[in-house]
Amino acid sequence: MSHAEPRPLTVSARGPLRGTVTVPGDKSISHRALMFSALAVGESRIEGLLEGEDVLATAAAMRAMGAQILRDDDGVWRVHGVGVGGLLQPQAALDMGNSGTSTRLLMGLVASHPITATFTGDASLSGRPMGRVIEPLARMGAEITASPGGRLPLMVRGINPAVPIAYTLPVASAQVKSAVLLAGLNTPGITRVIEPVPTRDHSERMLRGFGAELTVEDGPEGKIISITGEAELSPQHIRVPGDPSSAGFWMVAASIVPGSEIVIRNVCMNPTRTGLITALKLMGADIAEIDAREVGGEAVADLRVRHAPLKAIAVPPALAPSMIDEYPILFVAAAFAEGRTVARGAHELRVKESDRIATMRTALEAIGVRTEEHEDGLTIEGSGGDPLPGGGHVASKLDHRIAMSMTVAGLGARDPVTIDDVAPVATSYPDFFQTLDALGQ
């Protein structure tokens, strides 16, 4: 699942962005919907699944381990699961493409099944450390052989029965939490994850919905999430809400391009995912939540975003876990704000698809933005709403969010901005550029 040939793009400023958009299904929820459906006994149906390359990598891996996964002509996905404990030995290596979520969660699944799986990925994913997942899974009894630095390619030899553990997360990571919980699904006894800093809780919500015995309580060290193993999951009908990370690009685009007004429909408003909205509102963004509702256990709303002058803020570090994927586009908003925005507390950005702190600093400076790099974030000198100089060449580093963020920055630049490769955008938002063109008509 290697990326296509590099696809350079030159972005020029354009007039107001207007219209209604429906963003792709939430990526985190889409991954989990496929995995949990594949572990249920019977047929689950999934509507609104994100059909980007990352999620399709998860679908291919679950097929390789025995699940039947079909897409109907109406876009509904049907999954016939094998049951917890029923995963089959894959006959070839599992190619994860660019998807860290697929890799880490599936490592957890394999760890407590009596099978062996080899995980491979593209150049970007192969540079990302997996040690934080290897450590707890090894404590549960899985045997994991990784490339130097705890990287891909790696092999997981699962064990059954695995050993239930109580594991305190050393870093705020929903992926590590989910990997341990998924290993616990097929482990006799109770597996516990202690979470000092809250992270996105889609796994907990959805596992409960599928019938797993899972509790969440507050303890002295943080949230204690307990799952009772050898679970039996029941098939479900899942409606995947719109991805707030994808919605973030349009929130910032509408905020910085004068005269813009965009309505983004059906956005997941899970409180562990709304940090960007909170930060943008602190900066003065005009974002209204319309028709708040609940769909499949997740809060959902439509968002109306209008152009507004932005002011610099010190981004509260406590927001980091609820907007970790949105920092690149927040940095773009800061570039157009009045004053100096300080965004710290985001160490996790160093180990994403690229080092998003260093990559965004280089990208913003290439188009005339003054920045200061910190170990855990950036300080950005804003333009006060004036167009950015632009005119630079930007390296996306095989990172879909860098490519989309810098496309948005180009909408408010005096001179055209050239991005070396926007092909990785297909991993999470295949229709991004068509949507941009439609909003700019």
Mean pLDDT, the chain, integer: 96
Domains of the chain plus CATH, in order, are 9-25+241-439 (3.65.10.10), 27-238 (3.65.10.10)
Angle at 350 between CA 106 and CA 280, to 5 degrees: 100
Please state, in angstroms and rounded to a whole number, the distance separating the CA atoms of residues 118 and 324.
Answer: 28
pLDDT at 386 over 50: yes
Task: Give percent helix, percent strand, percent coil of the chain, each to the nearest 5.
Answer: 35, 30, 35
pLDDT for the residue 3: 52
Give the single-character DSSP code of 179.
Answer: H
pLDDT for the residue 103: 98
Chain centre distance of CA 72: 25
Alpha-carbon radius of gyration of the chain: 21
Across-strand partners of 116?
157
Yes or no: say if 274 and 29 are a contact pair by the CB < 8 Å rule. Answer: no
Cα 68 to Cα 15, 238, 289: the distances in Å are: 47, 17, 38
Handedness of CA 428, 431, 437, 441 (dihedral sign): negative
β-pairing, 143-147 vs 388-390, is unpaired
Q: Which residues contact 439 (CB under 8 A, 6 or more apart)?
A: 17, 18, 19, 21, 250, 253, 262
pLDDT for the residue 361: 98
pLDDT for the residue 362: 98
pLDDT at 296 over 80: no
Rounded mean pLDDT of 283-311?
A: 95
Rounded mean pLDDT of 200-218?
A: 96
How do residues 356-374 score in pLDDT, each as one tens digit?
999 999 999 999 999 999 9
| Dihedrals phi, psi of 276, to nearest 5 degrees | -65, -40
Please state, in angstroms and rounded to a whole number, the distance separating the CA atoms of residues 408 and 256.
Answer: 9
Tokens read off for 320: 């980091």
Q: Which residues are annotated as a binding site for phosphoenolpyruvate?
A: 27, 100, 128, 175, 356, 401
Tokens read off for 125: 């994913």
Amino acid at 81: G
Please state, in angstroms and rounded to a whole number, the distance separating the CA atoms of residues 412 and 146.
Answer: 44
- DSSP readout, 39-52? HBEEEEEEES---S
What residues are annotated to the active site? 325
- DSSP readout, 280-293? HHHTT-EEEEEEEE
pLDDT for the residue 2: 47
Decide: helix, strand or coil at residue 169. Answer: coil
Percentage of the residues of the chain whose pLDDT score is greater than 70: 99
pLDDT for the residue 4: 64
